[in-house]
Amino acid sequence: MLDPVLCTPARAAVWFAFMGESQARGDYIGAVRIRELAIRQRVETLFTTLFQEAGDTKANLGHAAPLARAFDALIDSVWEQSMLEPDTIDLAAAKKTCLDYLQSVLP
């Protein structure tokens, strides 16, 4: 997701233009919502699986979904920064931040 080829100011600008336009187009909202929910579910499943495979208690498994949503929001913030501040985005630092987050929350 943080590949320099994919995460460019131009691509982020297109993405945010579509997001802004989506407020006026119900079909687009429906298509994006389905995709976003599928991505969220996939990330939540990955987090849950990691917690389960680590043998975490059932109580800790309840943390998987909120931690996955936070990770998804972190990724979205990188895309946002690449559009709003294209001259200051540091993808290597963003990748490190994401990896540090994962290391801090995963078992």
Does residue 2 sit within a domain? no
Top-confidence residue, 26 or 65: 65
> Is pLDDT above 80 for 45?
yes
Burial (Cβ within 10 Å: 0-12, 13-18, ≥19) of residue 2: middle
pLDDT score at 22: 61
Does residue 50 sit within a domain? yes
Does residue 42 sit within a domain? yes
Range of the domain at 50: 9-105
pLDDT digits (tens, 9 = 90+) for 72-90: 999 989 988 888 888 998 9
pLDDT digits (tens, 9 = 90+) for 52-72: 888 876 656 678 889 999 999
Confidence of residue 47 (pLDDT cuts 50, 70, 90): very high
Does residue 4 sit within a domain? no
Does residue 85 sit within a domain? yes
> How many domains does one find in the chain?
1
Does residue 3 sit within a domain? no
